[in-house]
Chain A
């Protein structure tokens, strides 16, 4: 598992990367009330804003961590955005992407690095 400074977690799953937000990010956001997901098949570039998360407090974005194609989104979040608070690192993944360039993965933090980053 790798982590970005945008508080995303990236989990390699065969040739895909599963993306969600960390428990720390979910706690900072507060109660999530709305999630807008990208369409499957969308080609994205690293740092594109591709997911909108609205909490009771504010709106925030999730950036594409890599170049690639969105191959699956977690539709369950649209109906039950509160899952992001309940299980941010499990059931509440946002999307799976097929990366075209994996090299930025080397620059992302490991768990220890991320824990340092947020402390």
Chain B
């Protein structure tokens, strides 16, 4: 096996007692104090996450308009009308309408800044280089770390260092000076809490992390709690809840496709697999991603088969993410079920260790988002 890569915060993780695991080719902390306490700390105060394994990419070109038009050939999002200083959630689709990756993209005036999943970044970059107009340059950012500060105290903590961030709204982006280096800040994250993602030069990343951790409300958080937080937030994990075989509408991500790219819109279609996505919009998909609340205390994890009835029959779907939700105080999961069984309150069954246990279809998110709109 190839050696695991290290982020600029690797030494700090070890110093803080992080339990390290391989994730998407990187040696990353899965936990520090413990998943449960880290999760709760993030929901009540503020947690600091190292997400430097994720891919940061700049798309440059002759003008924002030309970059946006080119990028719209790969994603079903409205890129052109995105205001400067704003960010959107996006999806790379394939010719079948399946999802190649999910990402964030931001209009930074004369260029686009993307954040893509770690496990997909090489493929995403190759895909963009191969398919975007040659006038657009695809520039992976390899000399910067990415930190996420998440939780209700995030604004107070970060604005101590960078006062301007207090004025940002959810999905705003900006470039700010801190101690002589430039921070690329967005008011976003993937925990369902208010917070920020902060791209910092690799050389200053540890100093920034230490400055944030110096605040009494901030604790370091590992990938374990990141997963339970995003699951309670009803947010998809690529490669689990969405992948090349799931399409945006069935994944419940239709909201991410703006009107202008939909049938009848000014720039309808023009992205890979548009006909399949539109067909799902018109006829409704056959299956849907839903929230699931297993009854009792036993968590149901990825791969658990779902059934319509307590006995007999074939599986109707599968759990794609699941575990214990520390804020919910019980097991939570997401999975795909046929549309006629997707209404909240529907009782289905999950098979756990050979026994079928009741599972109730539940609205997402499990924990209300704390975004500052």
Q: Which residues of B contact A56 (CB under 8 A)?
A: 35-36, 224, 228, 323-324, 326
- Measured between alpha carbons, how far is A56 from B353 in the docked complex, in Å? 18
Q: Does B129 contact A (CB under 8 A)?
A: no
Q: For residue B240, which residues in chain A have a CB less than 8 angstroms away from its CB? A: none
- How many Å from the CB of B351 to the closest CB on chain A? 14
Nearest neighbor of A81 in chain B, beta-carbon distance: B297
Contacts of B111 in A (CB 8 A): none
A30-B34, A31-B34, A52-B353 given as contacts; is B224 within 8 A of A57 (CB)? Answer: yes
Q: Which of B307-366 contact A (CB under 8 A)?
A: 323-324, 326, 331, 353
Whether B34 contacts A54 by the Cβ 8 Å rule is: no
> Which residues from B are CB-within-8-Å of A114?
none
Does residue A92 face the partner (Cβ distance < 8 Å to B)? no
A59 and B322 alpha carbons, distance in the complex (Å): 12
With A56-B228, A56-B323, A57-B224 known as contacts, the answer to whether A34 contacts B299 (CB < 8 A) is: yes
Q: Which residues of A contact B326 (CB under 8 A)?
A: 56
Chain A residues positioned under 8 Å from B301 (CB to CB): 58-59
- Let me know if B299 and A31 touch, CB within 8 A: no
Min Cβ gap B359→A in Å is 15
With a CB–CB cut-off of 8 A, which chain B residues contact A34? 297-299, 324, 331
| Contact call B35/A57, Cβ cutoff below 8 A | yes
Give, as a whole number of angstroms, the nearest-CB distance from B175 to chain A: 37
Asked if A36 is at the interface (CB within 8 A of a chain B CB), the reply is: yes
Q: Which residue of B lies closest to A33 (CB)?
A: B324
Give Cα distance in the complex from A81 to B35, angstroms.
Answer: 15
Nearest A residue to B301 via CB reads A59
Kindly identify, within residues 49 to 77 of chain A, every residue whose CB is under 8 Å from any CB belonging to chain B: 52, 54, 56-59
Give A33 to B298 CA distance when docked, in angstroms: 8
B323 / chain A contacts, CB cutoff of 8 Å = 56
How many residues of chain A get a CB closer than 8 Å to chain B's CBs? 13
Alpha-carbon gap, A57 to B326, bound state (A) = 12
Residues of B within 8 A of A31 (CB): 34-36
Write the A17-42 contact mask toward B (1 if CB under 8 angstroms, else 0): 00000000000001101101000000
Contacts of B107 in A (CB 8 A): none
Q: Given the complex, which residues of A lie within 8 Å of B31, measured CB to CB?
A: 30
Give the residues in chain A near B36, CB-CB below 8 Å.
Answer: 30-31, 56
Considering the complex, give the chain B residue whose CB is closest to the CB of A56: B35
Q: A56-B224, A56-B324 are in contact. Are A33 and B353 (CB under 8 A)?
A: no
CA distance A24 to B9 in the complex (A): 28
List chain A residues, Cβ under 8 A from B299: 33-34, 54, 59
Interface residues of A in 84-99 (CB under 8 A from B): none
Chain B contacts for A33, CB-based, 8 A? 297, 299, 324, 331
Least Cβ–Cβ distance between B31 and chain A, in angstroms = 7
* Distance, CA A31 to CA B228, complexed state (A): 13
- The complex places the Cα of A52 from the Cα of B35 at a distance, in Å, of 20
Report B333 CB to chain A, min CB distance, Å: 13
- Between A and B, 15 residue pairs with Cβ closer than 8 Å are A30-B35, A30-B36, A31-B34, A31-B35, A33-B297, A33-B299, A33-B324, A33-B331, A34-B331, A54-B299, A54-B324, A56-B224, A56-B228, A57-B30, A57-B224
State A59–B331 Cα separation when bound (angstroms): 13
**How distant is the Cα of A81 from the Cα of B273 in the complex, in angstroms?**
48
With a CB–CB cut-off of 8 A, which chain A residues contact B30? 57
Given contacts A30-B224, A57-B30, 4 further A-B contacts (CB under 8 A): A56-B36, A56-B326, A57-B224, A58-B301
Contacts of B224 in A (CB 8 A): 30, 56-57
Q: Which 8 A-B pairs have the closest CB atoms?
A: A31-B36, A33-B324, A56-B35, A34-B297, A34-B298, A54-B299, A56-B324, A30-B35
Chain A proximity mask over B284-316: 1 for CB below 8 Å, otherwise 0: 000000000000011101000000000000000
Contacts of A54 in B (CB 8 A): 298-299, 324
Min CB distance, A32 to chain B, in Å?
10
In Å, the complex CA distance between A81 and B297 comes to 10
Cα of A57 to Cα of B322 in the assembled complex, Å: 10
CA distance A36 to B36 in the complex (A): 20
Residue of B nearest to A35 (CB): B297
Closest chain B CB from A38 CB (angstroms): 13
Residues 1-34 of B, flagged 1 when their CB comes within 8 A of A and 0 if not, give 0000000000000000000000000000011001
C-alpha spacing A4/B133, complex, angstroms = 63
Q: How far is the CA of A31 from the CA of B39 in the complex (A)?
A: 12
A36 to B296, CA, bound (A): 11
